[in-house]
Structure 1
Amino acid sequence: MVADITTVNMADEGASAASAFPRHEQTFPALTPQEIARMRRFGEARSYKHGDMLFETGKPGPGMFVLLSGHVAITQRDGLGHVTPLIDQGPGQFLAEIGQLSGRVALVDGQAEGDVETLLIPPERLRALLVAEADLGERIMRALILRRVNLIRDGAGGPVLIGPSDSSGVVRLQGFLVRNGYPHHLLDPVADTDAAELIARYSPSPADWPLVVAPDGSVLRNPSESELARAIGMIRALARDKVYDVAVVGSGPAGLSTAVYAASEGLAVAVCDTRAFGGQAGASARIENYLGFPTGISGHALTARAFNQAQKFGADMMIPVEVKSLDCSRDDGAFGLKLDDGEVLRARSIVVASGARYRRPEIENLADFEGRGVWYWASPIEARLCAEQEVILVGGGNSAGQAAVFLSGHARRVHMVIRGGGLGSSMSRYLIERIEAAPNIELVFNTEVVALEGTKDVALERVRWRSRLSGECSTADFRNLFLFVGADPATGWLDGCGVMVDRAGFVVTGAQCKKSEGQPASALETSVPGVFAVGDVRSGSVKRVGGAIGEGAQVVAALHGFLGDAAKPAL
């Protein structure tokens, strides 16, 4: 089984320090002459002189190099000018990490030591190799993922974040990078000399935290996620003349499932997501009722595997890219997705998998404290901020239960506030039992949070809640409030395109759509032929990870049917 970023990272925490790289033999396997011979049909010979760079940090990598002779020094370089030797690789070894499946920028430098002969396998041929040579491909894939794990551990090649670890900007950008499995490291200007020098040079105001130093040395002041992604090369330029078979909007479990199955069956697939792969499921601390994982798995670990699989089969992952609107006119036979940068992505079919956005309760000054004590997910980053504190968590569904159990391992006490009088109708039984067994989780029923107090633009300090039975209000000091009160469908980008939604905004599919006589509706097709909907965004879906993954697989058959019919000549 192919490992994923989160799982491997957790497993390696206690590894022996005898090697700088945990699982060294799996991370840097040696290829036999016979294996190299099998790989030759996928690549081309390349020669390098002493001192030549095979790849450089921050520049698009050309693919995977197989070393035939000579040695290559791999070094880490950050935007502050620090260069750290990582490893020397020689004949029989290969140079690449998971980003080279899709031609992403290199995260390290590779420099020839003496004359070097290589076999260069470009990204599209590397993906073909992984599929055609299954046993060899499994070893290579595992190594590519483990190398990214090590880069994340070391912060190699990624941006340097400078600022207080508890500032809202630091927490926001750290969460973005972690959710996308991207290396980075954080420097505190109080303790680090280089950071202090940059602070003195740029004199940031509190609104500028954090300063971000990209690998090329450029400095950004509290950038947006999109600005940061462009600065570090996460977003690839759109091929303007390319028309995909299918464009998937959303990379939660449903979107990732669609991408894996469609790409593995030969369809040209593009996946767009506004923030990170995984969706809401990716933020789940632990999922214990998903088939095949009896000990449970984190949402990030589960979706990271699917994200890697989709890249293995050639899906173009465009993250973070926001889809602003859908053009269904199909003047040239293709739908058009207008992106936030003004570009238009063209595809013959569309899968709506944009899921839902976290619902915000009607609290007057809620926005003032978002990212400053109010959180909509519970990751290790937020858990670090509330260590040994009392926290308040609002919600009674599975996501709330998973978060409460996770936070109970970090916070001194978790006060779980539920509007209703019980959990049985909204939460899985195993989670209820887990919560009841936790000595530091307190359940507060028939209650709702009504007001927040604190210093605007600084931090949350107090929370007020009200009993829905007696109307009595109480106030207590809390610096962290976690909100899991449901979600609203992320379908605003469909306005005006003809795709039917129900009263709550979820996409209507199948028999609920009015189809012309003689054209029975596909169960997952919307009111616009060629546009399908899967997962939480679809009206009537079961709103479970397993259901979303199943729908993502199911829709591929409908895609083949639609694309096949569209390709038939008119009679």
Structure 2
Amino acid sequence: MSRPVLMTVDDDPGVSRAVARDLRRKYGSDFRIVRAESGADALDALKELTLRGEPTAAILADYRMPGMNGVEFLEQAMDIVPRARRALLTAYADTDAAIRAINVVDVDHYLLKPWEPPEEKLYPVVDALIETWRSVGDRSVEETKVLGHRWSAESFAARDFLARNSVPYRWYNIEEPDGARLLGTAGATADDVPVLVLPDGSVLRSPSESEIATAVGLTTTPATDFYDLIVIGGGPAGLGSAVYGASEGLRTVLVERQATGGQAGQSSRIENYLGFPDGVSGAQLTDRARRQAAKFGTEVLTARDVVGLEPRGSARVVKFGDGTEIAAHSVVLATGVSYRALQAPGVSDLAGRGVFYGSAATEAPTCKGLDVYIVGGANSAGQAAVFFSRHAKSVSLLVRGASLESSMSYYLIKQLEEIENVCVRTRTEVVEAQGDDHLERLVLRNNETGEQETVESGPMFIFIGAAPRTDWLDGVVVRDARGFVRTGPDLMTEGKPPAGWPLDREPYYLESSVPGVFVAGDVRSESVKRVASAVGEGAMAVTLVHRYLEEQ
């Protein structure tokens, strides 16, 4: 089998040879190094490699090249080798252009000239490109076939579940010839959708998420009934706790209701997370954290709905929706928050049929030529606007407030200003969603003047509010008026612990009103709603878990 290709493209022969030399020195035994001295030559080489079935792992292209600059070349290269990772080689003066390319063209990294010493400046970038390429793979995604209606909410839910869990699949619309043929071959009807055809030929009709998870090989059953630490929730806080807990020798299980990553996992690019100067997508960050947790021995249970928590002596018992349970010495609650439902006529009826909560990246290819609407004014909404601007005819960001300054990071506001097909509409609310089998129109209202207008609409993506969804903890731990879980100093009243607190000491900083049950991330009352703080709290919670276990 041929070695994967690392390609370097630079019009300066000396620079081209130097890059190829440094790449060959470290990667030559595992990769074939191919160099080209123009964008056109590189595109021809990529076409020939693809025809021969040789995979391309990564491309390093110089920004300033005559005839076709590096960004223009990488745009065209994406059509030929869409799974190859991409980096720009730039002079210091071109840094702004490189950052724009990262934001708009989805370039993975940029690398400044000179890159000496390569051990510090070149190889870490290439290592990251190769790691990402290997995790994504370079094979056609057709292991699991999903058959369904284009405007079926259940079909969307199945695709979204697979995508967020990084399970390769291929989508077939049963209203098109290929989809209809496969539906008949599977012995199913339109009433059965979604229908999943697994690699071994077995067929699932209208499966639940738990059934899908089991069928595609995700772990849903715990290996044992007792652990040192149960982490509930697989967002950044939960993954942080899982990594630190398992790496420090605790028997750790992470329980996730749908897919690891939480809201952050759906972000198209997080650019203000420490250590990722070029930004990182939520999916990439989640995948790395999940693999890191698994490396240290964390057990990850997917599609398990936690419905109860009960202290039994020194044990903390977690109850599942199917009646089963597991127990541990300690628990970290890291369930995060969910987007609040948009309360307007027609919205709930069209959910999953043109109305989506979160970025729903699986819908991006269907947005071509359409006017997309995004509701919300925080970072998640801004990141989605940047992402969908690459696919849609136009993107309108609907913001209830007078401006973005109070809710969105400055860097993201400046990005949006530079994207031609993104329009920010402040003081605007959705008052109705209209359509037959899918979203077709929106009624918008200016909340300052009261004026309304009806607009033709493609998909609408909603990013409003933060609902902690902690009703299952009612009567177990102390929560604030909005449902967020109180911890540590926030539990104290006139210097005294909450009623029923059984220990002589005060609750630790991240400890709930139940000793041994800690809280991390967005679900904690008064927490900072940022990825970095969630990861930090997840790690801090494990430190406090150790302190608690030493007392037992």
* TMscore range, shorter length: 0.7 to 0.9
Instruction: Establish whether residue 504 from structure 1 lines up as the match of residue 482 from structure 2.
Output: yes
Q: Contact 2:172–2:178 at 8 Å: present in 1 too?
A: no
Matched, 1:536 2:522: yes
Pick aligned residue for 1:416 from 397, 415, 420: 397
Match of 1:300 among 279, 283, 298: 283
Alignment of 1:119-198 (within 5 A): 149-150=136-137, 153-155=139-141, 158-164=143-149, 167-189=152-174, 196=181, 198=183
Q: 1:470 aligns with which of 425, 446, 449?
A: 449
Task: Report how far residue 218 of structure 1 moved.
Answer: 2.8
Q: 1:557 aligns with which of 540, 543, 546?
A: 543
Select the residue among 226, 233, 248 that pairs with 2:217. 233
AA at the equivalent of 2:463: F
Matched, 1:453 2:451: no
Q: How does 1:23-422 map to 2 (within 5 A)?
A: 23=57, 149-150=136-137, 153-155=139-141, 158-164=143-149, 167-189=152-174, 196=181, 198-199=183-184, 202-205=187-190, 207-240=191-224, 242-328=225-311, 330-331=312-313, 333-422=314-403
Q: What CA distance in whole angstroms lies between the structure 1 residues aligned with 2:435 and 2:351?
A: 12
CA distance in 2, matches of 1:197, 1:555: 49
Alpha-carbon contact 1:500-1:527 (below 8 Å) kept: yes
**TM-score, normalization by structure 1:** 0.71
Alpha-carbon deviation of 1:356?
Answer: 0.4
Say whether the 8 Å CA contact 1:190–1:196 is kept in structure 2. Answer: no
Contact 1:324 1:340 in 2 (8 A): yes
Identity %: 43
Gaps of 5+ in 1: 1-12, 25-140, 567-571
Q: Is the contact between residue 183 and residue 189 of structure 2 (CA under 8 Å) also seen in structure 1?
A: no
> Structure 2: which 5+ runs fail to align?
1-42, 59-127
Structure 2: distance between partners of 1:287 and 1:279: 14
Determine helix, strand or coil for the equivalent of 2:442: strand
Counterpart in the other structure of 1:5: none
How far does residue 432 in structure 1 lie from its aligned partner after superposition? 0.7
Take 1:495 and 1:227, find their aligned partners in 2: how far apart are those partners?
29
C-alpha displacement of 1:294: 1.1
**Distance (Å, rounded) in 1 between the aligned partners of 2:156 and 2:179:** 21
Q: Tell me, yes or no, if the aligned pair for 1:166 and 1:385 is still in contact at 8 Å.
A: no
CA contact (8 A) 2:371 2:394 kept: yes
Aligned-partner Cα distance in 2 for 1:20–1:224: 39
2:507 pairs with 1:521: yes
In structure 1, the residue matched to 2:413 is: 432
Change (3 A) 1:466 1:237: same
CA distance in 2, matches of 1:407, 1:194: 26
- 3-state SS in 2 of match to 1:501: coil
CA distance, structure 1, for counterparts of residue 360 and residue 221 of structure 2 = 31
Whole-Å separation in 2 of the counterparts to 1:220 and 1:418: 41
Q: Deviations over 1:100-146 (max 9, x none)?
A: xxxxxxxxxxxxxxxxxxxxxxxxxxxxxxxxxxxxxxxxx999986
SS of the residue corresponding to residue 338 of structure 2 reads strand
* 1:342-370 deviation line (CA, Å, top 9, x unaligned): 21011110100000011012113322111
The alignment partner of 1:381 has SS state of helix
After TM superposition, give the deviation of residue 204 of structure 1 in Å.
1.7
Report SS of the residue matched to 2:364: helix
- The range that moved more, 362-371 or 516-525, is 516-525
Shift of 1:215: 3.5
CA RMSD of aligned residues (A): 2.6
CA offset at residue 385 of structure 1? 1.8
Tell me how many residue pairs correspond in the alignment. 430
Distance 1:19 1:304, change over 3 A: same
**TM-score scaled to structure 2, two decimals?**
0.73
CA–CA distance in structure 2, aligned partners of residues 236 and 391 of structure 1: 36
| 1:426–1:148 distance in 2 versus 1, CA, 3 Å | closer
**Other-structure match for 1:131:** none
Q: Secondary structure at the match of 1:532?
A: strand
